[in-house]
């Protein structure tokens, strides 16, 4: 993938406009298989970041934007959050779960990027196995996001796949800046 082919994907703020946020993620996913998108994301991200030198991992896309290391860290955090939410929905009757401040989480200490990538690949593989093993009836279960309201399990999976695609786009553009290949 050439980094020059990535036009930014606009995703509204989840807190200010939850409905538009969810719709933008669903639109980004389109007709792709959400579980396959989800499962493939760490490998695609590693390919996008292949060849980054240590300092390049920490070059932000722009002022007040994340670096490649922060995007990968965010995607790792998302697996922790969604893995927990999915397990709640699958084992409790319409559980409620909180949102979280991803910008604050992005400032938390992280291991070396190579360790973070390996940990993310591992947790993602475990979560993908969970998704692939869920019976159809359980995909109809519901949970309540404290900012976005009631959501069916399948919508949660579609959202995360669209979220992954948006962040892969962001990551490709960030890596291009780190390599100095975009203005």
Predicted TM-score (pTM) above 0.75: yes
Q: Is residue 11 part of a domain?
A: no
Q: Is residue 6 part of a domain?
A: no
Total number of domains constituting the chain: 1
Q: Is residue 26 part of a domain?
A: no
Q: Which long-range contacts (CB under 8 A, 24 or more apart) does 35-40 make?
A: 35/128, 35/131, 35/132, 35/157, 35/161, 37/161, 37/164, 37/165, 38/124, 38/127, 38/128, 38/131, 38/157, 38/160, 38/161, 38/164, 39/124, 39/125, 39/128, 39/131
Q: Is residue 114 part of a domain?
A: yes
Range of the domain at 44: 34-179
Q: Is residue 138 part of a domain?
A: yes
Residues of the chain with pLDDT under 70: 1-5, 182-183
Q: Is residue 4 part of a domain?
A: no
> Residue 4: its pLDDT value, please?
45
Nearest Cα to Cα of residue 57 among 168, 181, 182, 178 = 178
Q: Is residue 5 part of a domain?
A: no
> Residue 1: its pLDDT value, please?
43
Q: Is residue 130 part of a domain?
A: yes
> Residue 5: its pLDDT value, please?
55
> Residue 7: its pLDDT value, please?
85
Give the CATH number for residue 110.
1.20.120.450
> Residue 15: its pLDDT value, please?
86
* pLDDT tens-place string over residues 103-124: 999 999 999 999 999 999 999 9
> Residue 181: its pLDDT value, please?
82
> Residue 183: its pLDDT value, please?
46
């Amino acid at each position: 993938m050439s980094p020059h082919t990535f036009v930014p994907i606009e995703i509204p703020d989840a807190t200010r406009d939850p409905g538009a946020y969810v719709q933008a993620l669903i639109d980004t996913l389109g007709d792709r298989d959400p579980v396959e998108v989800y499962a493939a994301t760490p490998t695609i991200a590693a390919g996008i970041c292949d060849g980054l030198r240590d300092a390049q991992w920490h070059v932000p896309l722009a002022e007040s934007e994340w670096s490649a290391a922060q995007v990968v860290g965010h995607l790792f955090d998302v697996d922790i959050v969604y893995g927990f939410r999915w397990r709640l929905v699958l084992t409790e009757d319409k559980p409620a779960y909180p949102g979280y401040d991803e910008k604050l989480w992005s400032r938390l200490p992280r291991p070396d990027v190579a360790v973070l990538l390996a940990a993310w690949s591992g947790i993602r593989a475990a979560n993908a196995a969970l998704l692939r093993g869920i019976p159809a009836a359980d995909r109809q279960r519901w949970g309540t996001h404290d900012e976005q309201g009631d959501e069916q399990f399948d919508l949660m999976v579609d959202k995360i796949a669209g979220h992954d695609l948006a962040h892969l786009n962001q990551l490709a553009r960030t890596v291009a800046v780190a390599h100095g290949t975009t203005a």
